Amino acid sequence: MGLPAFRLWKRAWPLLLLFMMAAEGGCRRGPWTLWNAYSSRFIDPQGRVMDPQKGDRTTSEGQSYALFFALVDNDRARFDKVLSWTQTNLADGDLGVRLPAWLWGRDKDGAWKVLDINPASDADVWLAYTLVEAGRLWNQPAYTQTGRQMMALIAATEVADLPGFGPMLLPAPTGFAHQGSWTLNPSYLPLFIFQRLAAFDPAGPWQKIAAGIPVLLDQSSRKGFAMDWVNYIPGGGFYPAPANADKDAEPPTGSYDAIRVYMWAVMLDETGKTRGQILNALPSMSVYLANHDAPPEKVSDLGIPSGNDGSVGFSAAVLPYLKASSGNERAIAHQMVRMSDQKDSATGMYGRDLTYYDQNLVLFATGFLDGRFRFGPGGELKVDWTR
C-alpha cells in the first residue's frame, strides 16, 4: 500500500467502522441532529421549506421531502406545519382536490405567490406516499384519505399510457407529452413508492408503473450511468433527452437529478429480484469510483463522465449504492472522508455553501444507512421509532 492510500485508510477506518455499525440497524437511534439542523436553517415557523441559494423560493419537492423526514423522525408537530403550509399555499387549501403547484416565491413586483402552477409529479407521489404511511403509522385516517385523493388526481392527470410500453408517470400534467414522444425523469420513479401505492389502490396504474421502472432504467442508462431526462419513442424505447425542448438547452446528461436514481435503487427491499435488476442496469458509478475520489458532476449521453466532481451531496447519495455490493470499501472510504472534510462543525450540515439540495441527499442517505427508515417488500415504510 502506497503512502497516499495508507493515509486515506488511516483517516477513513474509524469512519468506516462507525458507518458499518450504524448500517446494521437494530437499536434505537438518538436525536436526528442533521434533520434538526436542516429544519432550523431551511424551514420557517409556518412550515415553508426555503432554498436560500435561489431567492428563498419554495418547491413542492422541498415540502414533500420535509414531510417525509418529519414522519421518519416522529415529528408530528412539524409534519402538520409543513402539510398545512403546503395545502394552503400550493394547493388552494385542499390537496385532495388540487395537486400542489411546484414553485412558490417572490415575483418581479416583490409579491410572494405561486410562480408556476404546474405540479411536479415527483413531489406529488412522495406526498401521497407519506400521507398514507403517516395515516397508518400514526393511526390518523384523515392523512390516509388525503393521500388516497392525491393518488386519484395523480392517476388522472400525471400518468400516460405509452404505446407499446404501458402506463408511466409523467413529470407534470402538462409539457411532457409531445407529438409521438414523451419525456420522463427516472429520478421521479422510486420503485418502492409505486409498490406501496399499488397496495392501496390495486385497480390503479401503480403496479404496471412499478413493473416498467426496471425496463426504463435499463434502456435509458448510458454505459451503465443513469440519465436526468429521457424520451420514450414508440418502437424505439428510451433515450437520453435534454432538460427542456429549448434549442439552447444543455445536451442530455446524468447529473443532479440522476444521482438520486442510484440511491432509490438500493433502498428497495433486498428480498425481491427487482433491486438486483436495477443495480445491474447501473454498474458504472461503482466502476468509476474505484479510481476516482468523488462522483462526477455530469455524465454525457454517451456515458462519458465529466472532469468535475459532484457536490458533497453526490458522495452521500452513492454511499448506500456502494454498500450494496462487495469490493467497494475503498470507494466508500473516499466518500466518507470527503463528507467528513466538508462537514460544518458549527451547523452539523455538509458542503462549502450548505445548499438545500445537498442536505436533502445527505438526509436520505444517512437516514437510511443509520437505520432510521427502511422500505419493506411491498414498499411499506419501516421507521426506527416503532421498534
The set of catalytic residues is: 61, 122
Query: Cα-Cα-Cα-Cα dihedral of 166, 168, 173, 178, to 10°?
Result: -60
156 sits in which H/E element: helix 141-157
The DSSP-derived string for 164-209 is: TTEEEE-SSSSSSB-SS-EEE-GGG--HHHHHHHHHH-TTSSHHHH
Cα–Cα dist 33/20, whole Å: 19
Closest CA to 71 of 122, 131, 144: 131
Closest CA to 66 of 94, 96, 93, 46: 46
Which single residue is written with the C-alpha cell 388552494?
A: 92
Cα–Cα dist 229/220, whole Å: 9
Closest CA to 295 of 256, 268, 250: 256
CA distances from 261 to 161, 215, 226, 242, 321 (A): 22, 14, 7, 17, 10
Strands 253-254 and 381-383: unpaired
Cα–Cα dist 100/97, whole Å: 10
Report H helices in 221-326.
259-266, 274-281, 284-289, 312-323
The single-letter code of the amino acid at 318 is V
Cell digits of residue 351 = 458542503
Ramachandran bin of 303, using left for φ above 0, alpha for ψ from -120 to 50, beta for the remaining angles: left
